[in-house]
Structure formats: structure tokens, C-alpha cells
Structure 1
């Protein structure tokens, strides 16, 4: 099993689970007569078990005898042998950029073929890149390995795929009797489906390919997988339903009892109690983790009247309590639609039935020493003492090591032996979280363990604390956002992250990236992660008092001008202003480009080391990158970057 996992990791970037569903493989572009394989739900990527067993990382192939070919995933390359573009698995020569898809690697075209329907002489494969006009019906001008005729006086050349097909591709019966359509035999058709059909398989609803079976008398169409490996006419699975289920292979509108959604064809039905279910819902997992809840959720056949007034924990729409779904055994009333729980941006694809639940781990970030003293996991060498903010005196000389913002007016923990500080709120961030932007748990990493990074939610540079899992990185402010999220700019309604159902722009900055939205009626309030994590109060030398974040005006009453750059401010967007609104400033002019970097820290960028310095001197330095004088920024946030070593 270990070697199998290693080989699968060479084939695909995500975990793949054993899967029993006959389909055209993303490995060899063929339907197999057996359906065992491996499937990635995230990418809808399927590999035949037989192909997986035959795949090697290195091969020597007769079409390219001079060099060894290497297996490559996500090649998005054009096979030099057959000319077909392959988006998944292929073999490549690192010496001369020769590409060979897995289909041609497994089933290489013969050196000589007889295809008298296309040409009256034998055709020979030319094993070198040649520019040619295909003499078949396609007539395309191309560069590749053509079949040519050595007997004709004129140049004749054909694409490989225009004149040759593996015999297995031609072995389908011209007519079949199918258990799902016993009235008439189904005939093999090639090309586009009839205009009167809906172009989809009657059983699985997938779009039919260029080859399919059809009954013109009944307008009944099946794709090749459903013909070669038909779904069972009846089944008994007590994990799905208590009684035997029967397949109804017809077009008929129904409501699936497992997910509560409408279906239009071929459900499994129980004649004993009227239960009906999509074929896809037969494979719903039993126990899973989702990224919006801290506990496991379990599938149930009926949510029950306890969920009568509940809404789905993902889409926030009302659930049908008479249907099935997922619920939390620990949190009363927390339910999720079956389709929402198994969305690829919510579930990581792992079935947890039979997998022991992890013991409750210590996610508390600190140990309490006394009423005002803690020992934080990021600073175990010294104790931290709580210092209460008074809401009046702005502390601009200290910065929080977690979020890198100035301490400001907030309460914080300060080290009694060194210059380490944490906002009280930042000190309470747990060591592990689940987050709406990622399907696996994220771990809190301190600034001692990393260089600067770009947050995947707000896209700001930071060298503070970070939540991370594999390649996903969130700064602690974005990582702390959970549902329901309440922001001072919109206190009347909570906000939720529902990315696939809504397009809009942030009310604060007009960005369309990573949006939280209000779901109450026609409210339409939208907020991006970047604006959601802006500090409410900042300090700048243009005013003696702290500046507050102003949430714009729906109906602009006049013009505003930034006191730093002296350019106009869009009053509908957010900006900073003083108490009496005598000063107004662009957010970027206040915050700068490097507000997430700690002053006096060293960052490495493009092979060089830089020291982050406050840009608060009378004589502003030159930028070592563009060689212009650094733009003016606020005293504690206007940061310029200078080279200290190469």
C-alpha cells in the first residue's frame, strides 16, 4: 500500500481514493471493460487501476529510441505522435522536449498500416517531426509524425488519429440489449446526438461523447460507461436505506430524500416507503470534516423536526428537515445540506467512518500564570503581563508580534524582560483552526519560524504569525475570521463567505476578491478580507489625534482630498479621517505597501536581505529598487526597504 501511495503521488497532486465507476480515463483516454480505478474528487480526475499498475516513472519507447522519457503530470502538452493535446498524464523527453501521451505510450501506432478506406496503398509512419497537409477529411496543416504513402507520386500524409485507431476502440457491438431498456435494442451511433435528444445519458446525466448507444423509438440514450458497466437494477445497502432500492430508468422529476434537491431522471426508489435518491447520492460519505465547523458531521437519512427552523451551515439557506443531510452530534441544531457538505471547496474528500477521532489536543495558545500573567507558546522564555488599554493614550512605539499592527488603544500582553508584545485578542488565537478558505486544518506558526509571506486572503505581505497548511497561508487577522462574522461597518447583520453563489464588489474598496456578504433580504452588503481586517484606529502626523476608519457615504455630499497625496478620494469608498473630519486620507496612503512587516526585521526578497525601516525621518531615503525617493507614509507605518547585505 505504501508503494501504491507513492506511485499515485507521482500521477496526481491530490490524494486519490479507490473508485468503482467506469468512465473514460484521464490516463489513457479509453473506456476499460473493468471499472476499478482511483479518483480525485477535487479535480474530477480518474485513473484506471490497470493503467496505474502499468505506469512507470521512466520508460524507453520505440517512437523516441534515443532518449529516456519521464512521466509528467498536468502537462497540458500536444502529443508529438498523434497530435492530440493532453491535459493530464504524459511522458516527456528532457533532452529535446518530445511529448508522448499515455495512450500512445501504451498503444503505439504500428510502423505500417493498411487502411484502404482512407487510402489505396499501405501507409508508413514517419518518426520525425514533419510539416504536412493532412489528406484525410480534416484537411488541417500540421506539424507532427504523419503516416505517408511511399508509392504515390504526389505527397500524401495523414494524421495518426485520422487513419489509425487501436482495435479496442472499434470493438463495441453495433447493437446491444441493455437491462435498463428491455423494449428495444440500442444501436451504436457516432457523432453528434440527435437534435430531439437532450444530449445526456439517461442514467448518469453526463454529456454523451462522440460514441453512444441510442433507441430512436423511445429517445433513450446511454453513454459507453453505462452500457459497458450498467448500474445494478436493484440494490440493498442499509447505510443508504432500510429497504431494497430499484432503479427507475426514465425521465421523471423527483425530490431526492438524501439531499433534498430536485432530479430529472433515473433515481433509485423504494416501492415500500416511497424513498427516492439520486444515483450520485448513493456514494455520499457517512462521516466527514468540513471547513466551517470544528467537529465532525455525520450523514443522517432524515434531519428531523429538530432542524425545522435550521439553516444550512454552508449556504445559509433553510434546510428541508424531512430529507437527509449532515448534522453535528455535539452542536444541537447545526445541519448542512448533503450537496453543500460535500462541495469541493468545503470538504477535503476524506471519509472518516471507521477512523478513530483524534484525541482532544491542546489548542490553547497560552498557560495562565495568574490573573494578569500568561506564558504564550510563541514566547516560552519569558512571562507576558497584561497591560490594559485606556482608549485614550495611543501606544505607537510597540507592535504586536502576531498581527504586526501597532498596539494602539488596545489592551495587550507585554514581556517583562524584552520588547515582545501581543494584543490581548491576538494572544488568544488558537494554535489550530478550521477556516472557510481551506478544507484542512491550519496550524499557527510564529514569526520565529518563517520569513515574510503573502496572505492568501488579503494579499498583503507580512512577517507576523501565520496560519498554514501545505501551500495555504493566512495572516492571523484573516485566519481569525469565522462565520458568522460581524464587522463595525455593518453591525445589523452578520456576514458569510459563500463564494460560488455570488459576484460583487467590496463596499470598502471595490475589490472582487475573497468576499464576505450579508444574506439578509436585499441588503447586498459585501466586504473583502482586506477591508475586513483594516485597523479601526491609526495614528498619523497630519493630526495630533488618532484617525478613525470612515465607512464612506452612499450619497456623496461633496469632494474629499487626501492630505498626504493631495489627490481626490472617492467618498463612496472607505478612508481614514480625524475626529472632526478636518483631515481625510486614502487607506493606502496611511497604511503603505509594507504595513504587515515589522520594523527593524530582516526579510529576504529576490536573493537579497533587506531591513525594514520606519520612513519617519525629515529626509526620506531613496528606494533601492526604483531609485526614486520613498513616498511619504505615516510615522509608524510608512516603511521603506533598504539593502543591508547581498
Structure 2
């Protein structure tokens, strides 16, 4: 189905979605008056439909000796206009001859006559050079200019064409402003204007635009070429015909509940107003914060509700998105269609996925068969183990500890109860498509959220890889360090605040949205084990969420000074303090007795539980971490950290 993506192998390597945009095409590097095209969200790549329909082979009069083939990777410069090729072009491998798409259709002339703006003819200068364009366009770079040798002027090809009255007349009558003609301006918008296009509200940055000084009315070139329709009948947006009002007008959009300051579509019969961009809001979508479809509605009708994305109050009298299966779940229209929430797929007419995502089959009250271990049954143990370091969960790779778990009847395969219940497919706040639970990792992966390496279970979709701990984080997220308020993923918080647990910047963080409560926790700290065991103490160590200590303190493992306000592990009587990194190390996410290849060398994952700790071959210190690596094929070549492993290739 086209709604699921279109394959255009000659144009781009990924599936592309049908898209309307007046941006410059990444296919040819030029603007087009037709907005129809295709878009790849993962690469932010937009191709005009005209460019995507280019034939694979062409015969060009200016290169009649050989047929040219369409290529999708840049190859130097166009041999006709001498501009840098941005993406699509035609190439002759035999002659090393390249032509961009525009020149393949419209080869640049040797001489251009623009007598209406310059009284001499301009000649194509066939040597690449850096020059100051006399059209004052501001572009800098090596190109092949059109020159007037008599006046010593030089212009880019595009600027020459823009100077032509045939392309941009000095005056024009426009359907959106029929009171007066609009005049072509080639400088900045007048100081008395707001500097924006009256129709679309975009800031005018183009070299050319049209303006009416009598009405203080400006249009950018995109709206000149593609003005909005004067009337629209779209039953998806509204039941009646909508009329376009091209004027400054303060209003509240009925579709999204946000204010607007210009050019709405209006239904006079219903007093209904809508932003131009809200006309194209999809009817039915999935967002990564919710397990079910959410559908667009003109009136939310849920009193005292909050948005499922931004967690701010929702005005029930305006439009938005709601879930038909979860009463009370509503989302602002703008929040639901954000690029970090929605994958761009319209799901109207597409049935909701109903495949079985349960991870196990119940055999009896105490026995299950998990999909990752179908050969044997797993039996439930409610009290956990007192502490056996060798008993580790195959999903998260952490020791079983005192938690309830499922253990294999016939072998040593173990899963924490929580890990065993992890669904086979799920939505996650960090990705716009459903993730799949992958087991049986042959080597290792690095979790994108916490940056730890692991060879346990992972949630995956394409290049997105999350370990089972980070993959299980969902909203609202309750953490023992902040039990009074739940935490949420607010993307922009990571740009302004450091983690309260480790005092480091992280790409993804969870935060409290309550007023005056500004706690921020990165995914690494949010998924730290609450209780661990280490050789420095006979009893389990507990995670401490910082102390307001005034004196100095040192880590009992590395013996270096530590900040007591940061999270650390402490013993039963609180007489010891240990860095979380010193307790866990770099390889806590790896299963003992497994093997992996790291920095081109094969290693075995081993427990550092001997009476005499081995020396690390790189840093030459005794390995202090609980899990270390041993190079395969050696008797005593041990590696203690990820950094040391990067130097192991020299041994």
C-alpha cells in the first residue's frame, strides 16, 4: 500500500512516503512550483514527483555519442551548467560526463539576454571560480558564473534567471489580493511589516518576494506559485465548505486548539476556523506513547484531562486525538503529529494489529513456556535466591537476587518474573514504530538509551536497539528516588539539564512535570539495579540517591574522591560509599561464560570472583570490576574495561 511507503530504488535506498512540500528538492537541489513528491523521514530526504519519474536512461543531444544513465549519488559537477551536483543526475561512465536533472531537460544557454534588467548580454564563463554574485544573493562557493565583460559583473545561473522579467514580473495580480497589484521586491521586507508571508506565516528569507505597500501585504514565492485554494470541501476536516480568508486575523483553531494570527479557513455556518496546515491532519494514527490507535475528533469532550504527550491541560471544547479503547486518553493535535511521536502513516482503513504479543504460554499455575526457550518449561519461584552470582537472568543479564523468577526445569536458563512478562512487541517513547523483542544475541549490542553494551534480550526496530531494561521504560515511570511523582520523557529537557543521578549530559532523560519539581534522570541511572553484591562487603549494597554531605568522601573501591550528592552504592550500615561505575563496571550487561568479538578480538566473559584478582593486561592494575573479559586462546590475558579493550589489539 502507498500509505506504507513507496520503493523508489533509483531515487533513494529507503521506503518513501507520498508528501506535499514546497521545500527545495534534495533530488535536484532546486525549488519546484509543484509541491507533490516523496519523503524519507529517517533521512529527511524530499524528492519531487517529477524527479522521481525521471527515466533510467536518456539520450542527450549535447552528448549524442553515448546513452546516459540515472545515478543517485553525486559525481563532481554538471558538465553543462557546472554547478555542484547534489544528488540525482545522468552520467556517462565512458566519458566521465555528468549532467544534473535540470540541465538534462533545459541545458543552460551559452549566452543569456536579460535586457529588461541589464543592457548587455551575459556569457557563460566556463572556468570554475569563487566570485561575489552581483545579484547580492549571499551565496558563496565555487561555481561557473554568467559574466558581463563590459560591466565586469558576474551572476549565478539561478540569479540570472531570477533577474528575468519573464520569470518574475515586476507587478502581478494575485487571487489572494485583488485590491492592488503586488510589486516585486528584491531586498529585505519593509521595516513597517512583520517580515512574514501573509498567507503561510513563514518568515520571508527569499531574495525575491511580492509586496503591496498600501495594504502592508507580502507574499513569498512559494505562495505566489502555489496559493491556497479559495474554498475547500474536505469532510475529514469539516462537514461544510470552508472559505479562505487571506488577512491578519486572530483566532483559535478548532482542530488543534492553538491560536493563529492570519489567513484561516472559515465555516461561517458553524463559526469554525482552522489553520491551513491543520486541514491535512490525519484521521487515524499511532503515536509512540500509546498502545492503540488514536483518532482525530472535532471536540474532545473529556473534562479536566491532560495531554498524553506534553502532560499539559487539554481544553475539551477543541479538537484533538483520543483513544476509543482507553476512555479519557486524549492528545493535542500538534503533540500527536510531532515528528518524534508519529511515524507519518495515516491508518484510516487499516485494521489495528491484533497479533499475539504475549511472551509465554501458561502450562499450569507455576509453569510457563517462554517463546525464547521453547525446548523446556520454566517453573516459577516466588522468593528469589538469597544470592547466587552465577544465577543470572538471560534477558537483563543481572543476578536473580531476591526477586521472583522463572527457572528452567531441565537447564540453568533463568528469567526474572518482570523480564519474562516483557511483551514481544511494544511501543516506546524513543521510537515511532513498534519494537520487537529479540533474543539469542550472538555477539553484543549497545543500547541507544543508556549506552551500555549487552548480549541479553533487546528491543529492536531497524537501527534502534534498546536493552530490555530501557525498552521496558514506559510512561508514567515511577522511580524509587522520586516516589511521590511519576516521570515522563520530555525530549527538550535533555538539551537544558543534566542528570541528577550522575551529573552528566545524556541524550534521553526522564523528568518530573510537577511545578517546582525539576528532577531529571537519564536512562542509565533510571535502570540501575537497586541492590547489588560486591566483594567489598558481605552484605548486599543498596543504591543511595545522594546525600547533603558537607565533608569529603572517597570511593572504597577506586579510593578516589566522590561527590556525595551524586548517586552511589552503600552498605548496610552506610559506612561505605562506592561509585556506581566502580561497582558495576563496563561489562555488567554481558552474560558470564558467553563470548563476543570486541575491537576485532574474541573474548570470553568471566566472573571476577577468584581470591586473587587478575591483572588487566592493558592498564596493569588488578581488575576491580565484578565482570571482566578474558581473551580467547590465552591463559591470563584479562581486560577490565571498555577503554582497555580498545587497546587489546596490540597484544
Relative to the length of structure 2, the TM-score reads 0.87
Q: How does 1:86-105 map to 2 (within 5 A)?
A: 102-104=101-103
**Is structure 2 residue 37 aligned with structure 1 residue 37?**
yes
Q: Deviations over 1:453-488 (max 9, x none)?
A: 010100100000010001100000000000000000
Looking at structure 2, the residues matched to 243 and 429 of structure 1 have their Cα atoms a distance apart, in angstroms, of 47
> How far has the Cα of 1:498 moved from its partner?
1.1
Partner residue of 1:597 out of 590, 608, 615: 590
* Match of residue 633, structure 1, among 619, 624, 627: 624
Q: Choose 31-40 or 286-295, whichever is displaced more.
A: 31-40
* Corresponding residue for residue 441 of structure 1: 434
Task: Give the C-alpha shift of residue 511 in structure 1.
Answer: 2.5
CA distance in 2, matches of 1:436, 1:288: 15
Taking a change above 3 Å as real, the CA distance of residues 120 and 235 of structure 1, as seen in their structure-2 partners, is closer
1:232/1:485 CA distance change after superposition, 3 Å? same
- The reply to whether residue 478 of structure 1 matches residue 470 of structure 2 is yes
Find the aligned partners of 1:485 and 1:380 in 2 and give their Cα distance: 32
Equivalent-residue separation in structure 1 for 2:572 and 2:58 (angstroms) = 69
Moved more, 40-49 or 587-596: 40-49
Q: For structure 1, which runs of at least 5 residues remain unmatched after alignment? A: none
After superposition, the Cα gap between the structure-2 partners of 1:632 and 1:240, relative to the gap in structure 1 and judged at 3 Å, is: same
Q: SS of the counterpart of 2:38? A: strand
Partner in structure 1 of residue 108 of structure 2: 109
Distance in 2 of aligned mates of 1:320 and 1:332? 16
Contact 1:389/1:409 (<8 A) preserved:
yes
Contact 2:70 2:88 in 1 (8 A): no
Count residues in correspondence: 629
2:6–2:17 Cα contact (<8 Å) kept: no
Distance 1:58 1:550 in 2: 69
Instruction: Give the equivalent residue in structure 2 for 1:261.
Output: 258
Scaled by the length of structure 1, what TM-score is found? 0.87
1:341 aligns with 2:336: yes
Q: For the Cα contact (< 8 Å) 2:395–2:415, is it kept in 1?
A: yes
Partner residue of 2:183 out of 160, 176, 187: 187
**Offset, 1:418:** 1.5
Q: Report if the CA contact (8 A) 2:615-2:623 is conserved.
A: no
CA deviation after TM superposition for structure 1 residue 377, in Å: 0.6
Q: Is the 1:507–1:526 contact (alpha carbons within 8 Å) kept by the matching residues of 2?
A: yes
- The answer as to whether partners of 1:133 and 1:140 remain within 8 angstroms in 2 is no
Are the counterparts in 2 of residues 58 and 71 from structure 1 also a CA contact under 8 Å? no
Aligned position for 1:510: 503
Q: What is the Cα deviation at residue 629 of structure 1? A: 2.4
Deviation at 1:55, TM superposition (A): 6.0
Which one has more relative contact order, counting CA pairs under 8 Å at least 6 apart? 1
> After the TM superposition, which residues 66-465 of structure 1 pair with which residues of structure 2 at under 5 Å, given as runs?
71-72=71-72, 102-104=101-103, 106-111=105-110, 123-126=123-126, 130=128, 143-145=142-144, 158=154, 160-161=156-157, 164-165=160-161, 170-208=166-204, 209-304=206-301, 307-358=302-353, 360-389=354-383, 393-446=386-439, 448-465=440-457
**In structure 2, do the counterparts of structure 1 residues 258 and 470 end up closer, same or farther at CA, with 3 Å as the change threshold?**
same
Shift of 1:180: 1.6
Aligned residue in 2 for 1:584: 577
- How far 1:387 moved relative to its partner? 2.1
Distance 1:235 1:162 in 2: 35
Cα deviation for residue 643 of structure 1 reads 3.9
Question: Quick check: 1:490 aligned with 2:479?
Answer: no
In structure 2, stretches of 5+ residues that fail to align are 635-648
- CA deviation map 1:331-366 (0-9, x unaligned): 0100000000000000000000112223x2111111
Deviation digits for residues 481-526 of structure 1 (CA, Å, limit 9, x no counterpart): 0000000010000000011366311110122321100011111111
Q: Calculate the aligned-residue CA RMSD, in Å.
A: 3.6
- CA 1:80 to 1:481, structure 2 compared with 1: closer, same or farther past 3 Å? farther
